[in-house]
Each structure stands twice: as structure tokens, then as C-alpha cells.
Chains A and B, each alone.
Chain A
Amino acid sequence: MTKMERTKQSRDAWNWLWEWANPVKFMHLTGKALPWVVGLTLVTLIPGLIWGFFFTPEADKFGSSVKIIYVHVPSAMMAINAWAMMLVASLIWLVRRHHVGALAAKAAAPVGVVFTVIALLTGAIWGQPMWGTWWAWDPRLTSFLILFLFYLGYMALWAAIDDPDTAADLTSVLAIVGSVFAVLSRYAVNFWNQGLHQGASLSLDAEENVADVYWQPLVLTLVGIVALFVALVFIRTRTQLRRRRLHALELRERMADA
């Protein structure tokens, strides 16, 4: 097999993925997938929250305040993953010039910033009775605040530029540079202050995780929040694509009139 054939074959193997980058195919595929994703959100998030809030025992040290974990941990996780997804989508736009990539990154930003705010607020509400303070300059809290600022800057740049392609390019560059600096800030903040926040609630390699009674509904809400994010990004990207098409139609109309 020559090298060319091999690259062609590998390109074919990835075709199913790049199909999504074609706006028409994207509309078609997401149109079909959307009810399923919304359905998945409903059947995981709502039972997960109800289970977590009403059918788990109260922890000895924390009382019922422990139940905020079902909102706090999933949204904190999604706040970071949304930024990661924006980074990947921006790279796809810069490298392959697929509009869906740029528009998906744009669509994800407001969702991500809302998750960041939810994580910060629920953390503050939990911290008040537990740590005796709404806010502490703890590394985790501080990094999230900085992440929030990055989201704000990213969205402001999108809003400030009129030409959609220029905006997509510049925000993609900002997303890449911002990601590097976000990681850098995380380490800087770690160095700067030792924290109050407990370690990760969930990780695969940890010996001790949250006890099973809490863990099971938490998994449900985690899956639910991912599905919710995907559903929202689908809806928002579809809106963006439709708006773009509408804009193109309007332009064509005006050209025809002139």
C-alpha cells in the first residue's frame, strides 16, 4: 500500500466525524440526535437530583448541606470541560476552516460561563455554614474565578467584532492562548496559597471516594449535566447556523433587488 493510499484510507476512516462539520449534515444529524439527548438529560438529571436531594442519608459532619454536591460537582466539571470543548472546536476552525467548529465554540461559551457561576455560587452557599465564610482565596476557588474572567473576555471579543469570520479567527486565537494562561494561572495560584477546599470528590485512581450512597446519584447527575450541555450546544449551534443562512439569504435578496 502506498503512503497516499494509506492516508486516503485513514481519511475515510475519519469521515464519519467530519460529516458533522458540513453545516447541512450537521443540521440533519443534530436534528435527529437532539430529542434523544434531551431525553437522556431528562431521565438522568431529574431522577439524579431527586434521588440525591431526598433519598440519601444526611452525612454526620455536614448535615443536609452535603446534598449541594449534586449541583456543585457536575457544574464545576462541565465548566472546565466546556472550555476544553471550545478549545478543540476553535482548533478545528483554525485548522480545517469548518464553520460548525467556530459556531459550536461560540455556542458553548455562555453555557460554560453559567456552569462556572453555578459552581461558584453553590460553593459559596456551601462554604458559608461549613467553612464559616462565603469566599476564601483558596486555589480552587480562585482558579474558578479566573476561569470566569476568561469566559467573559472570550464572549466580549465575540460580541465586539462585526465580521463573523474575523471574530471566529480572533476568538480562536484567544481560546488557545487563554488555555495556556489558564493552566499557568492554576499552577501559579496553587503556589500562591494553600487551600481549604477538599481534594477531588471523584477520581478513578483515588483509594477513597465519596461513599456509594452518594456516589450513585452523583453519577446520574454527572451524565445528566453532560447531556444537558450537549443538548444546549446543539440547540445554540443550530440557531447560529440558521442565523448565518438567514443572513446569506437576505444578502442574496438584496443583490437580486439591486
Chain B
Amino acid sequence: MIALLVRDLRLAVRAGGGFGLGLAFFLIVTVLVPFAVGPEGETLARIAPGILWVGALLACLLSLDRIFQLDFEDGSLDLLATAPLPMEGAVVVKALAHWLTTGLPLTLAAPVFGILMNMQAPGHWWIFVTLLIGTPALSMIGAFGAALTVGLKRGGLLLSLLVLPLYVPTLIFGAEAATRGGAGMAVTTPILMLAGITAGVVAFLPFAAAAAIRINIR
């Protein structure tokens, strides 16, 4: 499992175009928003948690098709399927690798990008916390979507159509918690719900994703 994780991380970092791209995309989205809505600090500060969450979500979406597609094309997915490691485990490891290369950098960058959005003091902390709790769910749900579309020639657009509706609950609770935290209100309920979604998703979706991969490579 660790060997697979190291291999995936190495591929993501060295193959180019995967690792930094999501982060750059996130930065561009954050930069574009003030051009669209105007530079007034108050407006930006009010929408900052939502924009950062949507930006992180889209940046995450960008690299999803890489989770299984390359391995499917060069045949290593078939090898993984016959390996002693159960497919469920492989899915978890691949989702974890995706999170380490996409979700975690996004989480670390979000408070910094918050400055661009005129975010005020406790806001940075809360966007960091909510993304830290929420992005594993985004990676896992994305891995499920990638597993569904892995055999398809032009799966990219379909992948977004499948995955984005599944992101709705995570986005709602994550952005709500970030907004409330920034405004100094009670955050327990949305944070707990967000953590619950992440825990549930990590517990159950590997089985669905593994089933989808087995169907796709049979």
C-alpha cells in the first residue's frame, strides 16, 4: 500500500501538469473574481469563504481524471486488480495520493489567497480548518466518479457532470462553517456535519468505487 502511495505521489510530482496545475488554477480563480465583482473590500470579504470553497472544489475537479485514467491506459490498473491488495485498498490509497497532491496544497494555500479576497482575521483559520476537513471527501467522491468513467474515451466532461452534484452537501456545510467561523458565530453543527460526510464517504465510497473499477476492467 505504501509502495503504491509513494509511486502515485512520485508520478504526480514528476509527470508534470498535475501537481502545480490545480494550485495555479485555484490562484487564477481567486484573482478573476475581484475583476468580475469589483474591488470593494467589503463585498469581497463577504463572499470570500464561498469563493475559496468553490475555487478549491473546481481545482480538485481538474485533476480527478488522472486518478485512474493513466493506469487504465498503460495496463497497471489490471495489474492492481490481480494484486493481493484488494481493489478497495488501492482506491483508498489513490484517493489519498490525490488528496496529498491536490487537497492538501489547496488547503495550505487557501488562507494566503484569502488575503487577496480581503478576508479578516479569524476567517483565514476557519477556511483552513474547513478545507482540511472537507477536501478528503472531495478527493474520495472524485475517485468514485473517476472510477465510474475510467473506461470512457471522453470521460472528462461527464466526470464533472457526475461529480459536481455529489459535491453539493460537502460544499454547503464547508462554506457555511467557513462563513460562520469568519463572522464569529457558532460553527459546531456545520463542522460536525462536514466531518461526518468525510468520515462516511471515506468509509463507504471505496467499495462503490472498487465495484465500478471491477466492472470497467472486466
A: which residues have CB within 8 A of B? 146, 149-150, 152-153, 156-157, 160-161, 166, 169-170, 173-174, 176-178, 181, 184-185, 187-189, 191-192
Q: Is the CB of A177 within 8 A of B176?
A: no
State A216–B47 Cα separation when bound (angstroms). Answer: 48
Known: A153-B158, A166-B215, A189-B168. 19 other contacts (CB 8 A): A146-B168, A149-B161, A150-B165, A153-B162, A153-B165, A157-B149, A160-B155, A161-B151, A161-B152, A169-B215, A170-B148, A170-B216, A177-B166, A178-B166, A185-B172, A188-B169, A191-B172, A191-B189, A192-B172
Is B173 an interface residue, CB under 8 A from the partner? yes
Query: 8 nearest interchain CB pairs?
Result: A188-B169, A149-B165, A188-B172, A169-B215, A184-B169, A153-B162, A185-B168, A153-B161
In the complex the two chains form, what is the Cα distance from A55 to B75 in whole Å?
A: 68
Residue in A closest to B141 when the chains form the complex, CB atoms: A181
28 sampled A-B residue pairs with Cβ under 8 A: A146-B168, A153-B162, A153-B165, A157-B148, A157-B158, A160-B152, A160-B158, A166-B216, A173-B148, A173-B208, A173-B212, A176-B208, A177-B166, A177-B208, A181-B166, A181-B168, A181-B169, A184-B169, A184-B197, A185-B168, A185-B169, A187-B169, A188-B168, A188-B169, A191-B173, A191-B176, A191-B189, A191-B193
Indicate whether A177 sits within 8 Å of B205 (C-beta atoms), given known contacts A153-B162, A157-B148, A166-B216. Answer: yes
Counting CB contacts under 8 A, is B211 at the interface? yes
Inter-chain contacts of B197 with A (CB < 8 A): 184
- Complex interface: chain A residues within 8 A of B208 (CB): 173, 176-177
Find chain A residues with CB under 8 A from B154 CB. 160
